[in-house]
């Protein structure tokens, strides 16, 4: 963000160095969780769910899945702009979409599902401005945290509704997660005008519905066994599972949640796992524009940094 986040003092640099071993340990644990859960799936059902999911998704499902995934990214970008505005941050629609796509890609391939959002919050690009430079970094993280929590609240509220008649205890847990997410986000969004609060809620629902639509598309393309009226509930459970930030891109936790949810509704758990894997493949593909954004935004910076380093070496 212009003139506010670029650079850092000695204290910040020292803090980053001190936190590296902890971050590496957390990342390693998240990789282990994902690998362990996927290994359990393979041990239980073999590679069949993976092969079935990847080989059986038709072209029309890819098209609809990519469009719906892209719509979810756009909804998140618009939500972020509204929340960021309250923090004194101005970012254009195009820049917001580009940053959110980049964040979605990084969240899909790196542990925890939050690295991309952290970069979105701390990015020192000149495509966003802040009213005051004194607390720019804090404002950036507040805006990203608030908009992510708004989306999380919708995801877990939907899971609570899906589970309320079958596993009331799990439904209560999901409802509590949603309530805590709203309570924390409220600190940063409470001063938004009523129309903007309504828009944030509507965009959160739209984003959730877009990703749920990907799940529905994959389900329709892979099986005719699942009753259409139950598909949204099954997808809501899977989306809540992938929102738990303990793995890589939701892999493992999403499959575990989907298998459990399908079993709850009387279906084969292996079918839920296969559909979840198909969802994961389509969701990852829909974030690939973010890889292009990442290259376009960071290659020039790396080149400039290398040139600065070369000049310093020569001097």
Matching residue, tokens 């709203």: 182
Instruction: Using alpha carbons, list the distances in angstroms from residue 18 to 12, 24, 110, 116.
Output: 10, 11, 21, 21
Domain segments of the chain as ranges: 15-310
What's the predicted TM-score (pTM) here? 0.83
Tens of pLDDT along the chain (315 residues) come to 443 333 333 344 444 455 667 656 666 776 777 777 778 777 777 777 777 777 788 999 999 999 999 999 999 999 999 999 888 888 889 999 999 999 999 988 887 778 888 888 876 555 555 555 556 678 888 899 999 999 999 999 999 999 999 999 999 999 999 999 999 999 999 989 999 999 999 999 999 999 999 999 999 999 999 999 999 999 999 999 999 888 788 888 999 999 999 999 999 999 999 999 999 999 999 999 999 998 887 776 666 666 556 566 666
CB atoms inside a 10 Å sphere around CB 4: 20
Output phi, psi for 249, to 5 deg.
60, 25
Residue 211 in tokens? 């990703």
Q: Which residues contact 77 (CB under 8 A, 6 or more apart)?
A: 93, 96, 97, 99, 100
Matching residue, tokens 């439904």: 171
Q: Which residues contact 167 (CB under 8 A, 6 or more apart)?
A: 264
């Amino acid at each position: 963000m212009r003139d506010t986040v670029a650079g850092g003092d000695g204290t910040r640099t020292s803090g980053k160095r001190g936190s590296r071993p902890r971050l590496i340990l957390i990342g390693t644990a998240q990789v282990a969780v994902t690998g362990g859960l996927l290994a359990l799936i393979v041990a239980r059902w073999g590679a069949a769910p993976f092969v079935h999911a990847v080989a059986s998704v038709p072209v029309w499902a890819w098209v609809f899945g990519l469009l719906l995934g892209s719509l979810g990214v756009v909804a998140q970008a618009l939500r972020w702009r509204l929340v960021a505005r309250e923090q004194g941050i101005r970012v254009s629609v195009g820049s917001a979409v580009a940053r959110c796509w980049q964040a979605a890609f990084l969240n899909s391939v790196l542990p925890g599902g939050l690295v991309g959002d952290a970069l979105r919050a701390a990015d020192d690009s000149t495509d966003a401005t802040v009213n005051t430079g004194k607390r720019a970094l804090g404002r950036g993280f507040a805006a990203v945290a608030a908009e992510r929590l708004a989306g999380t609240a919708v995801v877990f509220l939907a899971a609570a509704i899906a589970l309320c008649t079958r596993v009331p205890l799990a439904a209560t847990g999901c409802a509590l997660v949603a309530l805590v997410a709203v309570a924390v986000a409220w600190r940063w969004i409470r001063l938004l005008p009523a129309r903007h609060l309504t828009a944030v809620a509507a965009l959160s629902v739209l984003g959730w519905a877009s990703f749920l639509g990907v799940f529905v598309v994959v389900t329709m393309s892979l099986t005719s066994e699942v009753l259409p009226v139950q598909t949204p509930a099954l997808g809501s459970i899977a989306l809540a599972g992938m929102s738990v930030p303990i793995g890589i891109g939701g892999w493992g936790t999403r499959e575990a949640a989907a298998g459990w949810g399908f079993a709850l509704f009387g279906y084969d758990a292996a079918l839920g796992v296969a559909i979840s894997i198909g969802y994961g493949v389509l969701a990852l593909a829909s974030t690939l524009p973010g890889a292009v954004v990442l290259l376009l935004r960071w290659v020039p910076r790396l080149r400039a940094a290398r040139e600065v380093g070369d000049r310093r070496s020569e001097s």
